[in-house]
A = this chain, B = another copy of it.
């Protein structure tokens, strides 16, 4: 009997060497029903062509990554960021996904973290009408606190939910990425809170391996190779009522240097062993 892969999604960042078409073909060969897209891969193929490639293959698009970078403290940069996010919203709609992952940006040259966080909340408010109009959800991604200075001033799931709270659950959601949130003493509670609010828009899995890579962004590993208790966190996500796709998103040079089919075989095996029994 083959395992149930009906919720497993390949995030294209995991097979970085592959074009969009290669990733789609690889996912299909591996028996996966879904794919998480990054905008750079979509732009290489062209938006209409990308949408066609995915649709022709019969894959779901579990998410589009990414909008965000909303922390600029000057008006011109802020307007440019909002414009780019409106384009991302339209792209998500064209690609047939309602989940647009938002990496909200770091500190734009100063130390005013409180102010940067306020700007993010304000600008999500500015984007919400456009998202609602396109049937797209702005999915706030808390990033690990080691990325707060340069990448995302949303650092915890609780903070993401606080920012989401004023908006309808189908317009602003959150994504749970094990790499970013596994350390949080309040994680179980906040996942439950996200479930009650109907805001869990995605679940991404990978592992925390040591030592950290020279570029800390690339320190992720396959599920089961590191310190994250993925079974327990998966159980919390399942108890919170999440029934959507599980994306495997790994940034790691050694994995990028591995043939894509091999990576897909490994991530599928780890999904079946560490995730599926707890969903």
A interface residues, Cβ below 8 angstroms from B: 107, 111-114, 117, 144-146, 148-150, 155-156, 158-159, 162, 182-186, 208, 210-212, 214-216, 226-230, 232
Contact = CB atoms under 8 A, between A and B. Distances in A.
B212 A185 contact: no
Nearest to A274: B111
A80 to B, nearest CB: 23
Contacts of A211: 215
A144 B230 CA distance: 21
Contacts of A210: 149-150
Nearest to A150: B210
B229 A113 contact: yes
Contact of A216 (B155, B156, B212): B212
Given A111-B228, A148-B227, 18 more contacts: A111-B226, A112-B229, A113-B183, A113-B227, A114-B229, A114-B232, A117-B185, A144-B145, A146-B216, A148-B182, A149-B226, A149-B227, A155-B184, A156-B184, A156-B186, A162-B185, A214-B214, A216-B216
8 contacts: A111-B228, A111-B229, A117-B185, A144-B146, A149-B210, A149-B227, A150-B210, A159-B185
Given A117-B185, A184-B155, A228-B111, A146 B146 contact: yes
A159 to B, nearest CB: 4
Nearest to A163: B185
A229 B144 CA distance: 19
Contacts of A185: 117, 155-156, 158-159, 162
Contacts of A228: 111
A165 B215 CA distance: 38
Contacts of A183: 113, 145, 148, 155
A182 B146 contact: no
A271 to B, nearest CB: 17
A113 B146 contact: no
Contact of A145 (B112, B145, B158, B232): B145
Given A113-B182, A185-B117, A214-B214, A208 B144 contact: no
Contacts of A229: 111-114
Contacts of A156: 184-186
A238 to B, nearest CB: 17
A147 to B, nearest CB: 9
